[in-house]
Homo-oligomer: A and B are copies of this chain.
Amino acid sequence: MMLAAVALVATTALASVVHAQVPSDPLTQQVRAWRIANAQPILEEFAGLLAMPNQASDSVNIRRNAEQIRALYEKRGVKTQLLESPGSPPVVFGERKSPGATRTILIYVHYDGQPVRPSEWTMKAYEPQVLAGRLEDKAEKKSLAEAAKPENELWRLYARSASDDKAPVVALAAALDALAANKTKIPANLKFFFEGEEEAGSPHLKEMLTRHKALLSSDLILFFDGPRHQSGVRQVVYGVRGSFDVEIAVFGPVRPLHSGHYGNWAPNPAVRLMHFLGSLRDDDGKILIPGYYDDVRGITPAERASLATIPSADAKLREELLLASSEANNASLSERIMLPALNLRGIVAGGVGSGATNAVPSIARASIDFRLVPNQTPERVRELFEKQAIAQGWTIVHDSAEATPEVRRSKAKVMWLRWLDGYAAQRTPLDHPLGRDVLRIVERTGGERVATVPTLGGSAPLVIFEQVLGAPIINVPIANYDNSQHAPNENIRLKEFWEGIEIYAGLMARLGAPVP
């Protein structure tokens, strides 16, 4: 009940922030006319793709997604192939050559999604559902056909990966159609790289890129992932934070013990884990691990100047998210994401509410995700984290076989760790000429201001592209910011999806030729 009361509260809708404007750009006018005329088949193609479960570890379904994407692009004249690595979902690679092209653009999108905890979703995660607005506002269910009408652009499509990151898969295909329908020339060679394990930490990416380095060579990598800025404005993004995850388990008595007969005698693993986790960061997000900020390079003057171009959404966000105004902390969201983050994404021990029993739990588990900024490395993060644990008397084991009864009997505090694959942050210099071209093109597709953003708060393995392929990388995210990506009830608002088609069409039609 407590939760229901909270979930149902109406919060400030994004509706008032952005209004449809007639674009002054003739190309965008053409693309818009085409996508309005073809809205229903585009949405049907989108829903068809969203109906496929796409967790990277689901080896059967993830491959069905890859085959579907391959078919979508073959239909548009893109020559495709699957790039394989043992144990990995395939990469869908596509190529579209332009006669006389002097530039090659590699476009990256990922087609896998975050795991789903079905009990937390209002609808089924893999049964796409249109609502005439936001779920939180009790919007009604609608059909795709109704959603296709231009006046319904503030409606939303709910499904896992609706925003992150299948929207770009479908919007790009639609953009190719729109350009073809208008006989618009594409000046550059295009290459497409659809990854299938981004949400799982991209464990095979480096191997894939290295093996296919020649196939993937390009002058610019366009990265399509993530949401627009929280203020609603379009953004051109020059970097991402790195990402690194760790799973933690600590042990108490071999079986749960009656908390009366054994409480305050038997060690409680949840309490011990809590004390350790509590030593890692403060309530406001500052990381307390000694030396953690030593690797962090500060914000440069150029970055600080670009931060000034970003509208502040902080107050609006706090209002919407039911956060107190005193949460203002010591920096804005734009500045905060320039810093490292340590997020306790999960902790589970024993039970609560109706599942609570008067027992000392036998195990406590936690999961942490780290967001890295230049010049942090996963290796160093791991080293500092484990050093902190060891300094507090923990014995660390890294594999199932090692948390043996012998170890547990001889060491009071045994911590089991599983480090997932991670990667460092990436930043393209803010003054790169191709970056400036991208910014100008995005500005022309809409009448609005475009923010220049040094880094997304989110992560993608761009550093691996940079290291292996050596090309600059620019990210143009299209999704609405309030899309609940990585959470239950993920969605995309149609307006942002439609404008994504226009942005992608503009980029494909203009990059590789001189941009006025």
Q: B-contacting residues of A (Cβ < 8 Å)? A: 1-3, 5-7, 9, 11, 57, 114-115, 117, 136, 199, 226-227, 240-241, 243, 245, 247, 249, 251-268, 270-272, 274-275, 277-278, 281-286, 318-327, 329, 333, 336-337, 339-361, 363-367, 369, 371, 400-401, 403-405, 408-412, 416, 456-459, 481, 484-489
Residues of B contacting A268 in the complex (Cβ-Cβ under 8 angstroms) = 285, 343-344
Besides the known contacts A9-B405, A322-B405, 10 further A-B residue pairs in the complex with CB atoms under 8 A apart = A6-B405, A263-B342, A263-B369, A265-B333, A322-B409, A323-B409, A344-B350, A345-B356, A345-B361, A351-B367
- CA of A405 to CA of B3, assembled, Å: 11
Within the complex, what minimum Cβ distance (angstroms) separates A58 from chain B?
Answer: 11
* Contact among B259, B326, B339, B342 for A341, CB-based, below 8 A: B259
Shortest C-beta distance, A116 to chain B (Å), equals 9
Closest to A258 in B: B486
Q: How far is the CA of A117 from the CA of B267 in the complex (A)?
A: 22
Which residue on B lies nearest to A271, using beta carbons?
A: B344
Given contacts A319-B409, A403-B2, contact A355 B115 (CB under 8 A): yes
Q: Is the CB of A270 within 8 A of B337?
A: no
Partner of A260, one of B256, B261, B457: B457
Known: A345-B356, A345-B357, A345-B359. A409 touches B324 (CB 8 A): yes
Q: Are B369 and A259 within 8 A (Cβ)?
A: yes
Contact B336 A360 (CB under 8 A): no
Which of A1, A265, A278, A351 has most chain B Cβ within 10 Å? A265
Contact B371 A259, beta carbon cutoff 8 Å = yes
A327, A336, A343, A488: most-surrounded residue (chain B CB, <10 A): A343
CA distance A484 to B199 in the complex (A): 40
Assembled-state Cα–Cα distance A342/B9 (Å) = 36
Question: Complex formed: what's the CA distance from A336 to B270 in Å?
Answer: 19
A344/B270 contact (C-beta < 8 A), A285-B264, A333-B262, A365-B353 known = yes
Q: Which residue of B lies closest to A10 (CB)?
A: B405
A361 to B249, CA, bound (A): 19
Residues of chain B within 8 A of A226, CB atoms compared:
261
State how many angstroms separate the Cβ of A137 from the closest Cβ of chain B. Answer: 13
**What are 9 pairs between A and B in contact, CB < 8 Å?**
A5-B403, A11-B254, A253-B322, A254-B321, A258-B486, A259-B345, A264-B343, A324-B408, A343-B359
Q: Evaluate whether A347 and B348 lie within 8 angstroms (CB atoms) in the complex, with A321-B257, A486-B256 already known.
A: yes
**Is B358 a contact of A261 with CB atoms below 8 Å?**
no
Q: A256-B488, A409-B322, A457-B263 are in contact. Are A283 and B278 (CB under 8 A)?
A: no
Q: Which of B3, B358, B486 contacts A363 (CB 8 A)?
A: B3
Known: A267-B323, A348-B352. Is A258-B115 also a contact (CB below 8 A)? Answer: no
Bound form: Cα–Cα A4–B247 in Å: 17
**A405's closest neighbor in chain B, by CB?**
B9
A416 to B1, CA, bound (A): 12
Listed residue (A357, A359, A416) with the most chain B CB atoms within 10 angstroms of its CB = A357
Known A-B contacts A57-B354, A350-B345; the reply to A487 vs B257 at CB < 8 A is yes
Closest Cβ neighbor of A355 among chain B residues: B117
Set of chain B residues within 8 Å of A3, measured between Cβ atoms: 363
- Asked if A258 and B2 make an inter-chain contact with CB atoms under 8 angstroms apart, the answer reads no
In whole angstroms, how far apart are the Cα atoms of A90 and B333 in the complex?
57
Are the C-beta atoms of A356 and B405 separated by less than 8 Å? no
How far apart sit A319 and B6, CA to CA, in the bound complex (Å)? 47
- Taking a contact as CB atoms under 8 Å apart, the answer to whether A2 and B256 are in contact is no
Contact call A346/B361, Cβ cutoff below 8 A: yes
Chain B residues with Cβ below 8 Å from A271 are 277-278, 281, 283, 344
CA distance A363 to B5 in the complex (A): 13
